[in-house]
Structure 1
């Protein structure tokens, strides 16, 4: 129970069930893998705000791999938790810099991205101790070494009775990720590693539950996105890639490099995506330097986002299944967008083309990295792989195929002109 002057809220009614051990654990590492709608981020947000209010020494550092993703995820989630706990008057939320301050004491919730390591290692607080760390979407951290450096920043002497704690929350797309061995295969009293799913979320609506019932038709997806179990990754479509920081301007200056942009449409359940790449036709390399990946986007939202990203004038090849959307986008701002070519065997042919290149992915393209790590060949009813990719983790993969059509020089393939 939290009491602040006129405010009284009963936490069990707000937090709900399924997270008792998580809420009480005081060891170094709390690690939660879970399905969509499993309450993991909501529960963690409520825990962050509750600890700030209950203990004047606690400050939180909230981290994602890429700083620009924090505002619309963790920052928004924590503002929700503040409202849910009826504590709006006690917190100040600012976007420049991105931080949340508990007004009565000056305690802070700070936000950082691992794409700027210096900002992470040089953090200090004026009040209390920086003794809590939340890594949201921890699956994005492909480097265990990067996590170790981050983990080491949460240290120092604390008042008696206090402790340091690191919380990691994520969706378990691949059982090959270092998180599994580090935390879920370990046996340590200093680690609480749990799996949650939508079945423990009593706040879901009937329409939410129907989506998961529909998901059961795809057992592979239901296992991970529904039940929160590890994704079993076998038979990756693309293994010709690496994650690496590179200078976009330097690559652009090469005479053999052309830009390549592709778009795939989604809405409620699937994201709308934009693949942003540079293709070196001599070195046979694809440089993935930016991405759009967002659900619930209207055509107007897409125009606004692509314009904000600075790519409104680029030649974009988009999913030809949505000719009305393409016509609308072209008329209202994305004048160089055109339909991608589709036809018999176009998916396999596009994959074959891309497999002839090496793909270099900038670390900020976290959704692209997740997809290419999970995009596999499908299996038949006998569990044998077939020459067809799964219909999952393919939104940016499809956008990349559309973008690469220009570079398919095979005889008989029709390329678009402008």
Structure 2
């Protein structure tokens, strides 16, 4: 079946490329990435008998987004007399037997009934949980056809799983994608787009995006430039990463009384996090130079992992909310005490860490970097910062709090602006 359609040149290669398993499209507002994903799937299902699955985080959002987008394209192609749209349940059926089905991750039980899916599109994939993404990979299977997963999103915070999975884990710089625009690494095809790539977009829309720069730089980065970054106010803007050798050279000059160990307990969704930290008391620098970070570990298994602490008799300051756990470790030969947790201690501990002029982390402490480098404050419904709540549950931050128990950083009011703190509320 011959189809004639004018498309944006930046998407021509993507439309007809089926050589990769994963397609990751990230871009700004109005770049037409969703439109071209839908068109790509339609063209493929016209050419081959396949079943495609389209997923969003919430099922009820699909009808007015993906489903209506497919319908718009089919009408524009003049194929609405051949391709049939069924609204209950939502399906699109092709004359050759191909079909598109739609599911929401808010009803995961319905995913179990689908079979022979060879193409999956995750629209606004950053809204879907990482566990859902992995579940969908398991649903992508067919006895003979090549398998493909397409993920599209506007960029969000670098703490989101999409950034970690497609950039951090494979150690790819996102700046390389912004420069090259299209690249293939391993089994993943990367595609970056902005509003300028959409030739059908009115210039007035682009002017609206440009205007964001004057009053909302976060949204400007996302909507206009289509780039990942930090969304919100950083908790620790003085956090930096240095090579392990450089950090250890600095730690070697710090008196032993300023070497601390902190531990946060966790099991299911949280983690056992242990940090070795060092305080440069004169310069008010905090060094983080060793980490342990695991979950689904029983106390006896963790004790084996941390045996060096029992042998060295290093004092561990731990979460006092777990006295039974602390007692167990003491019985196993560890020197462990509970850190003080009076009312309001979360806020006070956060302020204490923020008073360090620099927080210098070894490049080997990858989980600490992951949690603390881009950690932002949570906000309430009015958009106001919540001083003791954060964008994630940072277990290494709690371990740092406990490790610093009993140490006070000089509170010099008004000095924070000198090293770039983004909030003056303490």
User: Which TM class, normalised by the smaller chain length?
Assistant: 0.5 to 0.7
**1:386 counterpart residue number:** 423
3-state secondary structure, aligned to 2:19: coil
Provide the C-alpha distance between the structure 2 equivalents of 1:113 and 1:22, rounded to a whole number of angstroms: 25
Equivalent residue for 1:101? 93
Question: Which whole-Å CA distance do the structure 2 matches of 1:358 and 1:195 have between them?
Answer: 29
1:181 aligns with 2:164: yes
Structure 1 residue 219: Cα displacement:
3.2
Distance 1:199 1:93, change over 3 A: same
Match of 1:75 among 45, 57, 67: 67
Q: Identify the match of residue 132 of structure 1 among 105, 119, 128.
A: 119
Give ranges in structure 2 of 5+ residues lacking alignment. 173-184, 236-268, 270-378, 393-415
- TM normalised by structure 2 equals 0.52
Q: Which residue of 1 aligns with 2:352?
A: none
Q: What CA distance in whole angstroms lies between the structure 2 residues aligned with 1:169 and 1:349?
A: 28
Deviation, 1:173, is: 1.5
Q: Is 2:174 the partner of 1:153? A: no
Partner of 1:229: 227
Q: 1:116 aligns with which of 74, 98, 107?
A: 107
1:144 equivalent in structure 2? 130
Which residue matches 2:189?
192
CA distance in 1, matches of 2:96, 2:66: 22
Q: TM-score, normalised by structure 1?
A: 0.53
SS at match of 1:30: strand
Equivalent-residue separation in structure 1 for 2:75 and 2:122 (angstroms): 22
Offset at residue 235 of structure 1 (A): 3.1
* Counterpart among 33, 36, 45 of residue 43 in structure 1: 36
String of CA shifts for 1:357-401, please: whole Å, max 9, x gaps: 9999xxxxxxxxxxxxxxxxxx9998540348xxxxxxxxxxxxx
Query: 2:286 aligns to what?
Result: none
> For residues 227 and 357 of structure 1, what CA distance do their matches in structure 2 show?
29
Match of 1:206 among 195, 203, 207: 203
**Contact 1:175–1:231 (CA under 8 A) maintained in structure 2:** yes
User: How do residues 336-351 of structure 1 correspond to structure 2 at under 5 angstroms?
Assistant: none
Correspondence 1:2-81 to 2 at 5 A: 3=2, 8-9=3-4, 11=5, 13=6, 15-23=7-15, 24-56=17-49, 58-81=50-73
Stretches of structure 1 lacking an aligned partner (at least 5 in a row): 238-243, 245-346, 361-378, 389-418
Deviation at 1:89, TM superposition (A): 0.7
Q: How many residues align?
A: 244
> Partners of 2:189 and 2:110 in 1: how far apart?
28
Deviation at 1:107, TM superposition (A): 1.8
Kindly report structure 1 stretches of 4+ aligned residues shifted beyond 4 Å: 347-360, 379-383
Candidates 218, 221, 226, aligned match of 1:220: 218
Question: Within 5 Å, which residues of 2 pair with 1:229-248?
Answer: 229-233=227-231, 235=233
Q: Secondary structure at the match of 1:212?
A: helix
Contact 2:125 2:151 in 1 (8 A): yes
Distance 1:194 1:349, change over 3 A: closer
| SS in structure 2 of the partner of residue 130 of structure 1 | coil
SS at match of 1:61: strand
Question: What is the root-mean-square deviation in Å for CA atoms of aligned residues?
Answer: 3.2
Task: Check 1:21–1:353 CA distance in 2 against 1; reply closer, same or farther (3 A cut).
Answer: closer
1:85-124 CA distances to partner (integer Å, 9 max, x unpaired)? 221111111211111111x223210000111112112113
8 Å CA contact retained: 2:46, 2:98: no
Pairwise CA distance, 1:350 = 6.5
Counterpart-to-counterpart distance in 2, 1:226 and 1:105:
40
Q: Which of these two proteins has the greater Rg computed from alpha carbons?
A: 2
Partner-residue secondary structure (3-state), 1:220: helix
Contact 2:53–2:103 (CA<8 Å) still a contact in 1? Answer: yes
Distance 2:391 2:130 in 1: 22
